Structure 1
Amino acid sequence: MRPTVHDIAAEAGVSLATVDRVLNNRPGVRSVTRDKVERAIATLGYVRDVAAANLAKGRSYPLVFILPAGENTFMRGLEAEVKAAMARSAAERTEIALICVPAFDARALADALAEAHRRQPAGVAVVAVDAPEVTQAVKRLRDDGIVVVTVVSDLPGSARDHFAGVDNIAAGRTAANLMGRFLGGREGPVAVVAGSMLVRDHRERLEGFQAVMGECFQPRLLLPVVEGQDDASLVEKLVASLLDRHPDIAGIYSLGAGNRGLVAALEKAGKAEAVCAIAHELTPHSRAALLSGTIDVLLNQDAGHEIRSAIRVLKAKADGLPVIEAQERIRIDIFLKDNLPNGQA
């Protein structure tokens, strides 16, 4: 059986009240008595159940989530998952606040992190933009003992505690392998549509994609990357222009959002079947395009898992507890029209 506080009290020859003071690092205990209690803890191998202690004390965890605003369907799905977590706050002992900022706006994001800092939460979860002012804002939070978890897009050069998201280099490499295999001997260049090179997840997907295309599928031409800012209207214009200038395009890798624009441009140009399209995130629009054949493959990350993981990690880190890495690993799902979830195909 696991040792209890009663066992510690008996081993040290002190009262339960004294054990409680030592465990909670409260004053009023002589150093010699504190030493006796700590020796008893070590002898018995006592490990405190912090979660149970917090539950008994009615502790709650004030958390702040900072997400990009805009029409990005995946981000709105991420927001919906945060709001679902807010609805579970009483059961999970959280107090979640949500701040939305313009997408890819580093200054606005740094300001939002400063606002979160003023609220003095237990932790902050943020979809990061890789910029010096954001890194500094994260450092100030960490210097003040506030836990920071990045979600979807990482900031590894910062002092952040944890990243809740997929391995984006692996995602890009996977997309390239699929693209090369799907195209086979079909001739023609491949285009890449990003959201913005300001976010690390897009840069890492591009890095992985270019690496595998160069290693395994030479001499396939890769066209210069275009940035659609995750805006469907802009993506549609950019893809239409690419198809006009390069009518022999064999494949398009959309590594960001705005895929309604990709689908619209391909269908208007009559290229829905001729061009192999690989994109990210399973949304109602991308699902429909996968079923129709306009998109050939979707790489997906589970938004619900990412939000739940961020909350678990923020709470654990706030309590000084270890993170169970296997539980928090976010997998890359690969969907074809034949294996869509919920039996829809």
Structure 2
Amino acid sequence: MRPTVHDIAAEAGVSLATVDRVLNNRPGVRSVTRDRVERAIVTLGYVRDVAAANLAKGRSYPFVFILPAGENSFMRGLEAELRSAMARSAAERTNITILSVPAFDAQALAAALSQAHQRRPAGVAVVAVDAPEVTEAVKQLRMDGIAVVTLVSDLPGSGRDHFAGVDNIAAGRTAGTLMGRFLGDREGPVAVLAGSMLVRDHRDRLEGFRAVMGEAFAGRKILPVIEGQDNPALVEELVDTLLARHPDLAGIYSLGAGNRGLVAALEKAGRARTICAIAHELTPHSRAALLSGTIDAVLNQDAGHEVRSAIRVLKAKADGLPVIEAQERIRIDIFLKDNLPIEQA
């Protein structure tokens, strides 16, 4: 059996109240008594259950989540999952604040991280933009003992504690394999539509996609990346131009958001069934496009799992507890029109 505070008290010959004061580093204990309690802890091999202790004390965890604003359906779904977590805050002992920043705006994101820092939270979760000022803001949080989790898009080299998201290089490679096999012998180039190369997840997906296309489908031409800023109207305009310039276009890999614009452009041009389209994130719009045949496959990450994972990790870091990596691994789901999950009412 694991030793308890009762065992420590008996070993040291002191009261439970004295053991509690030592464990919580409170005053009112003579140094000779404190030494006796600490020796008993070592002798018995006592390991404190920090999470249980915090529960007993009714500790609350203040967290700040920083999300991009805008029309990105996946990000709005992520926000909805976060607000569901906020509704459970009393039971989960969390106090969550959401800060919104313009998408892909590194300066605004760095300012939001500084604002979060001033709140002195137990932890911060952020959809990262890979820029020096953002990296520095994360480092400042970590230097002050505030845990940081990156969501969806990672920021390696910043000292962040954990990344809650899929392996985006693997996601890009998966898209490349699907694209190459779906196209088969069909001729024509493939276009890549991104949100912004400022975010790590888009760059990693592109890296994985290009690697597989080069390794397994080397004869297929890959056109220069188009950046649509995850804006449906801009994406539609860019794809209109793309289709006009490349009437032989065989496929489009949309590795960001703004897929409403992609779908609108393909359907307007009458190319919905002649171009293979692979996209990310299962939203109401991408679901409808899968069912209609305009999009052939969607790679998805579970926004709810990512939010729950971020909260679990931030709690563990605040308590000095280890993270269970297998529990926090976010999988890549592949959806075709044939295996769509049933919509929740």
Task: Calculate the TM-score normalised by the size of structure 1.
Answer: 0.97
Counterpart residue type for residue 153 of structure 2 = S
Question: Who is 2:303 aligned against?
Answer: 303
User: Deviations for 1:189-238, whole angstroms, at most 9, x for unmatched residues?
Assistant: 00000000000000000000001111110111000000000000111111
Question: Who is 1:5 aligned against?
Answer: 5
- Match runs of 1:37-48 below 5 Å: 37-48=37-48
Question: Who is 1:341 aligned against?
Answer: 341
Question: Who is 1:330 aligned against?
Answer: 330
Structure 1 residues not aligned, in runs of 5+: none
Distance 1:61 1:201 in 2: 28
Q: How many pairs were matched up?
A: 344
Question: Who is 1:315 aligned against?
Answer: 315
User: Deviations for 1:10-48, whole angstroms, at most 9, x for unmatched residues?
Assistant: 122222122112211223334443333233223323222
Question: Who is 1:93 aligned against?
Answer: 93
Question: Who is 1:127 aligned against?
Answer: 127
Counterpart residue type for residue 3 of structure 1 = P
- Match runs of 1:234-249 below 5 Å: 234-249=234-249
Q: CA deviation at 1:338?
A: 0.9
Question: Who is 1:154 aligned against?
Answer: 154
Query: 3-state SS of the aligned residue for 2:342?
Result: helix
Sequence identity (%): 85
CA-based RMSD of the aligned residues comes to: 1.3
Question: Who is 1:73 aligned against?
Answer: 73
Distance 2:96 2:295 in 1: 36
1:231 aligns with 2:231: yes
1:256 aligns with 2:256: yes
Question: Who is 1:184 aligned against?
Answer: 184
Distance 2:299 2:31 in 1: 58
Distance 1:177 1:31 in 2: 66
Structure 2 residues not aligned, in runs of 5+: none
Counterpart residue type for residue 148 of structure 1 = V
Counterpart residue type for residue 157 of structure 2 = G
Question: Who is 1:221 aligned against?
Answer: 221
User: Deviations for 1:151-182, whole angstroms, at most 9, x for unmatched residues?
Assistant: 00111110111111010000000000111111
Question: Who is 1:174 aligned against?
Answer: 174
Q: CA deviation at 1:138?
A: 0.8
Q: CA deviation at 1:252?
A: 0.4
Distance 2:147 2:245 in 1: 48
Question: Who is 2:197 aligned against?
Answer: 197
Q: CA deviation at 1:239?
A: 1.1
1:292 aligns with 2:292: yes
Query: 3-state SS of the aligned residue for 2:192?
Result: strand
Once the two structures are overlaid, the 10-residue window that deviates more, 278-287 or 79-88, is 79-88
Query: 3-state SS of the aligned residue for 1:53?
Result: helix
User: Deviations for 1:226-279, whole angstroms, at most 9, x for unmatched residues?
Assistant: 000000011111111111111111110000000001111111111111111000
Distance 2:67 2:39 in 1: 47
- Match runs of 1:16-55 below 5 Å: 16-55=16-55
Query: 3-state SS of the aligned residue for 2:175?
Result: helix
Query: 3-state SS of the aligned residue for 2:3?
Result: coil
Query: 3-state SS of the aligned residue for 1:342?
Result: coil
Q: CA deviation at 1:49?
A: 1.6
Query: 3-state SS of the aligned residue for 1:241?
Result: helix
Q: CA deviation at 1:313?
A: 0.6
Distance 2:340 2:10 in 1: 59
Counterpart residue type for residue 37 of structure 2 = V
Query: 3-state SS of the aligned residue for 1:341?
Result: coil
Q: CA deviation at 1:336?
A: 0.7
Distance 1:343 1:230 in 2: 24
Question: Who is 1:209 aligned against?
Answer: 209
Counterpart residue type for residue 322 of structure 1 = P
Q: CA deviation at 1:343?
A: 7.5
Q: CA deviation at 1:60?
A: 0.2
Counterpart residue type for residue 255 of structure 2 = L
Counterpart residue type for residue 51 of structure 1 = A
Counterpart residue type for residue 205 of structure 2 = R
User: Deviations for 1:66-122, whole angstroms, at most 9, x for unmatched residues?
Assistant: 000000000000111111111111111011111100000000001111111111111
1:281 aligns with 2:281: yes
